[in-house]
Structure 1
């Protein structure tokens, strides 16, 4: 097996760079070829991965946050290479689908010794995603939070809280037409999240029952609510308890589209785009992923759950 490590040097305010020596130390005693590549600009990870996997198959490790993971994913899709995750971003949401809520002592070693399994994949417009794609308030929060994350002393959880507060003052509800496997709904929404995985935004369990291998999307729709109720919604969503709120509905399907007359922010695994219409399809067992070995993980992360007490 040949290994390719894609490292985002900005991830985790530079924590990703610590893995360079770990990688070199590990392969001193392992007779398998490996490569380390550093990303330099948005979209670079996809370009680098494609240049490698177009010639042969690799285990490709996304060393960074969920945005880096999405770029690496989009470079791998359609090949025989395997996707692996070394989480060191501010949220690290997708990896929770692989390891659960319990920590592992050494995510690096556990991943290298992991097991390959196929999972489902999503395609929204011309981009693939592995965890969650969403439109509405939450996407605007990510947009604002990304600005705060660049500040030296702002943690991931604090950035998301500041993002929520900032977005509250400027957000307008979106009039949408939503189609789920041919059935059309017309709703004024706060947000709509198309979920393959369970959580996003640094630990918000927006779709707590989702399974990355069940062959179906879960769609969480939050209709127009008062600003006061938004403050009640997010603490519940952190724990996955928001289903009890009247304006929250869950649907399931394999093909989902969302359109509006006004442009909205689309969040694709943490990557942000501006759209007026999105079309999303599920690809059953669309990619092979490396599941970490289960013997104890300690993924240190900034998360919404750490900030729950402040909301």
Structure 2
């Protein structure tokens, strides 16, 4: 019998505080009855998932599974862009935000089996400075600072992952100051003090905050959510609505559909790129339509 597909499982053993490792015996059991090749790889360092994914993707078409959080997904994405291989997502981190846009309802139920039996679908991706790709959301400003703080709290074993982001919110909003940014949205330029900008391909970030309710993974556009400098009181009023995706229509939040955005500031800005934090003083972000095949799990 002909082997039809290679399945490469890239597992981040640190994601979900080690819970990802439970998938190893489950994968082995599943493939006892599937006549297709499978390989399990464990990441050992930052960027390792990109190296592993690129090594297999360059050998020929395969299905590469990211088993970890949104950072693991981003690393695998950056290893397979430009190849015929597809990205499969087994959400196992603390945020799991990308998969919320991809699957409605209970995305954890039988997720491994459903993904192995899933089908490919082309989705858009974003590119930063022609070298770094993202599939969910890149954000600048307050929310990137919050994400940075959440990473600190997540490293504390006594703090539940879901509480880490909330703790960071309340610590960060009291000390963060809006930054003067030059922003080019397609052909429209603005210079203003900005609290944050979310450049969204998917709808969710921060562990389920629906920051971009109208974003779609395959419409060829980013949805931009931009908030100008506002008072602490207004931030506290805005946040509960933003969590539920009910902030469209508020004058404090500006939404636009764009294909390109350029941002610069007088000092380094924190960028939250699919959950990974980097510092940049200037960035060009471009939409690449239908650039990647993603595995859509079979319906329950």
TM-score by length of 2: 0.96
Note closer, same or farther for the CA distance 1:289–1:245 as it changes in structure 2 (3 Å cut): same
Find the counterpart in structure 2 of residue 77 from structure 1.
81
Unaligned 5+ residue runs, structure 2? Answer: none
d(CA) in 1 for partners of 2:11, 2:41: 6
Structure 2 counterparts to residues 211-230 of structure 1, below 5 A: 211-230=216-235
1:120 aligns to 2:134 (yes or no): no
d(CA) in 1 for partners of 2:289, 2:173: 37
Deviation at 1:216, TM superposition (A): 0.7
d(CA) in 1 for partners of 2:94, 2:108: 18
1:207 aligns to 2:212 (yes or no): yes
- Whether the aligned pair in 2 keeps the contact of 1:99 and 1:294 (CA below 8 Å) is no
Deviation at 1:246, TM superposition (A): 2.0
Deviation string, structure 1 residues 146-197 (Cα, Å, up to 9, x no partner):
0100111322221001111221232111111111112111221110000011
Find the counterpart in structure 1 of residue 6 from structure 2.
2
Deviation string, structure 1 residues 18-54 (Cα, Å, up to 9, x no partner):
1001100000111111111101111111011111111
- Whether the aligned pair in 2 keeps the contact of 1:104 and 1:294 (CA below 8 Å) is no
Q: Would you say how many aligned residue pairs link Structure 1 and Structure 2?
A: 295
1:24 aligns to 2:32 (yes or no): no
d(CA) in 2 for partners of 1:262, 1:132: 22
Find the counterpart in structure 2 of residue 166 from structure 1.
171
Find the counterpart in structure 1 of residue 93 from structure 2.
89
d(CA) in 2 for partners of 1:119, 1:214: 8
d(CA) in 2 for partners of 1:101, 1:176: 38
1:273 counterpart SS class:
strand
d(CA) in 1 for partners of 2:263, 2:102: 28
1:48 aligns to 2:55 (yes or no): no
d(CA) in 2 for partners of 1:212, 1:197: 6
Q: CA RMSD in A?
A: 1.0
Find the counterpart in structure 1 of residue 181 from structure 2.
176
- Whether the aligned pair in 1 keeps the contact of 2:11 and 2:40 (CA below 8 Å) is yes
1:13 to 10, 17, 20: 17
Deviation at 1:242, TM superposition (A): 1.4
Find the counterpart in structure 2 of residue 248 from structure 1.
253
Note closer, same or farther for the CA distance 1:182–1:193 as it changes in structure 2 (3 Å cut): same
1:66 to 63, 67, 70: 70
- Whether the aligned pair in 2 keeps the contact of 1:265 and 1:272 (CA below 8 Å) is yes
Deviation at 1:111, TM superposition (A): 0.7
1:166 counterpart SS class:
helix
Deviation at 1:266, TM superposition (A): 0.4
1:144 counterpart SS class:
helix
d(CA) in 2 for partners of 1:88, 1:196: 21
1:33 to 31, 37, 47: 37
Unaligned 5+ residue runs, structure 1? Answer: 296-311
Note closer, same or farther for the CA distance 1:169–1:104 as it changes in structure 2 (3 Å cut): closer
- Whether the aligned pair in 2 keeps the contact of 1:82 and 1:289 (CA below 8 Å) is yes
Deviation at 1:101, TM superposition (A): 3.5
1:16 counterpart SS class:
helix
- Whether the aligned pair in 2 keeps the contact of 1:133 and 1:267 (CA below 8 Å) is yes
d(CA) in 2 for partners of 1:160, 1:281: 28
Deviation string, structure 1 residues 249-304 (Cα, Å, up to 9, x no partner):
00111111111112110011001100111101111100000001111xxxxxxxxx
Find the counterpart in structure 1 of residue 288 from structure 2.
283
Deviation at 1:88, TM superposition (A): 0.6
Deviation at 1:104, TM superposition (A): 5.3
1:186 aligns to 2:203 (yes or no): no
